[in-house]
Amino acid sequence: MTIFCEQHPTEPAHWTCSDCGSSFCPDCVLKRDAGDYVLGKIIHMCPKCVIPAEWIGAANTIVPFWNRLPKFFTYPLHPIPLLFNIGVCIMLLIASLLPLVKIIFILLLVGSVIKYSFSVLFRTAQGNMKPPSFTAGTVSESLKPVFKLLLLYFIGLIWTVIIIKYTGKAPGTLFWITFENLLLPAMIMILVATESVFHAVNPNLFIRLIFRIGKGYFAMCALLALLGAAPFVLLNLLMKIIPVGFNVFLFAFLLIYYRILSYHLMGYVLLQYNQEVGYEVDYDEFQNMSGNSKPEIPDPEAGLLTQINFMSREGKLDEAITLIKESTNTNDISNIKLSEQYYKLLKMKKMYPQMADHAVSYLHMLVRDKEKKKACDVFLECLSVDKEFTSAPVNIFAVAGWLYETGKVKEAMAAYNRIIKLYPGDNLVPNAYFRIAQIYHDRLMDTAKAKKILNAIIKKFPDHDIVQQAGNYLSTLPG
Ligand SMILES: [Zn+2]
Ligand SMILES: [Zn+2]
């Protein structure tokens, strides 16, 4: 059952807090840099308790394997495994023509297929859905996993022989079928996870793994058995219509295709149930490899915001305000959301002088981001609590324009006048006069007053850019 984020009921949770039991999506979890000693390492924390949170595991966020069956079938057809498969088949054909070294050649090729499928399993289990590339090393490098796998088969074979010897052929055959189809997949998964044959053949481990995964495991085995039979069935059907020499090639191709597919599937099951099985998947690697999200860069202010949001929801307003003051130089906050939250908190707590003080930098960001409505609201709110409230002329000028757009003519006029009164030497003063003239004519039907102002602009600021515009406007006015 999927666990969802406490704040986003449709987002699967990635993290859970062992202390308060809440679960969070990547947007809600608090991200902190682990510090200089582990460069680039990020710690994920519970935004409520501010202690490290635990990863819920891949199962909660990945598609269950039975819902992505077509993808398992296309995996071996990805260019890399496809090329590998065809390459091995061609070499196999060549080897079959060299009577003397045939056996060695074939063993090497089988070994490379086993090695490649192991790396498919391992990679998939780590959350990486891109097939591994192969190099000359794939064949020549350590053949240990090959021997380990053969050892597993060998152990199964010995047991079968023993059972046949003491109880007869039927129980022995039954044992082999059970071994190959039901036990071996679990053993292989343990072998890849632990790299130890000793662990892989330990019934205490593989039986436990089977029961931990439960129904999903048996579904996987059924699928593997079905697919395992497919190459033989297919070949039987095609035998009559294809040339004999091509038989070997096709059969080998189908076997390798099946092998890559099944190891990819086993790897995926291991990933999906990594928590149940106790197989460790590194979260950062999982995220990076599966391309689930962009690399996370912890932004201290974004982290703080997450924390503040949780505190606000729980009504801890004073604590939230204190935390912001302690963690930032409040007028240098660059995260607009955090700035907004701080402004709102101060407003809710009716801390008006501090609210107006913070609004200076907040309003600056609102104007920069063209947040018209919010900028107007903040400007008017601050003026209502503090008649002396002011901001840089350029900000007031922008807000005045937006106020006018939304029909707040009186407020817009007051804002333009504010620039003229408080910043008489500013370059925007003539522009403010010009806007006032426009308002007089367009809105207040006082053309005479508009003309008076326009003439004054031309006379008083002859070198300013606005003069030409003022002249043009003046010429359109009647009378
Ligand atoms: Zn917690
Ligand atoms: Zn969330």
Q: Which long-range contacts (CB under 8 A, 24 or more apart) does 138-143 make?
A: 138/112, 139/108, 139/109, 139/111, 139/112, 139/115, 141/115, 143/111, 143/115
- CATH number (3.30.1950.10, 3.40.50.300, 2.40.30.10, 1.25.40.10) of 392-479 reads 1.25.40.10
At residue 343's C-alpha, the angle toward residues 342 and 344, to 5°, is 90
In degrees and rounded to multiples of 5, residue 30 shows phi and psi of: -85, 125
What's the CA gap between 421 and 372, in Å, rounded?
24
Distance 291 CA to ligand 1 centre (A): 28
3-state secondary structure of 24: strand
Maximum C-alpha span of the chain: 121
Determine contact, residues 441/477, Cβ cutoff 8 Å. yes
Residues across the chain = 479
Helices (H), 369-428: 372-385, 393-405, 409-422
Distance 322 CA to ligand 2 centre (A): 24
Sequence-ordered list of residues with C-beta below 8 angstroms from that of 327, at least 6 positions apart, any chain: 300, 304
What's the CA gap between 39 and 286, in Å, rounded?
18
And the tokens for 294?
């962009």
Distance 155 CA to ligand 1 centre (A): 48
Distance 344 CA to ligand 1 centre (A): 25
Spatial CA neighbour of 367 closest among 384, 379, 380: 379
Distance 292 CA to ligand 1 centre (A): 25
Determine contact, residues 269/213, Cβ cutoff 8 Å. yes
Distances in Å between the alpha carbon of 386 and those of 255, 352, 381, 403, 467?
80, 8, 9, 19, 34
Distance 45 CA to ligand 1 centre (A): 8
Distance 66 CA to ligand 2 centre (A): 27
Beta bridge partners of 153: none
Sequence-ordered list of residues with C-beta below 8 angstroms from that of 263, at least 6 positions apart, any chain: 117, 118, 120, 121, 124, 188
Distance 303 CA to ligand 1 centre (A): 15
pTM for the structure as a whole = 0.62
Q: Which amino acid is it at 452? A: K
Spatial CA neighbour of 266 closest among 208, 216, 230, 231: 216
Distance 26 CA to ligand 2 centre (A): 7
Q: Domain ranges for the chain, please list them.
A: 15-56, 65-288, 392-479
Distance 47 CA to ligand 1 centre (A): 7
Distance 24 CA to ligand 1 centre (A): 10
H helices then E strands: how many in the chain?
Answer: 23, 5
What is the gyration radius of the CA atoms in the chain, in angstroms? 36
Per-residue pLDDT of the chain (479 residues; tens, 9 = 90+): 678 888 888 888 888 998 888 898 888 888 877 665 555 667 888 988 888 888 887 777 788 888 888 999 999 999 999 999 999 988 888 887 877 778 888 888 888 888 898 889 888 888 888 888 877 555 556 678 788 888 999 999 999 999 999 998 899 999 999 998 899 999 988 888 788 888 888 888 889 889 888 888 999 999 999 888 888 888 788 777 777 667 778 888 989 999 999 999 999 988 888 877 777 776 766 665 554 444 456 677 888 888 888 888 888 999 999 999 988 888 888 889 999 999 999 999 999 999 999 999 999 999 999 999 999 999 999 999 998 898 899 999 999 999 999 999 999 999 999 999 999 989 899 999 999 999 999 888 898 999 999 999 999 988 888 888 888 988 888 86
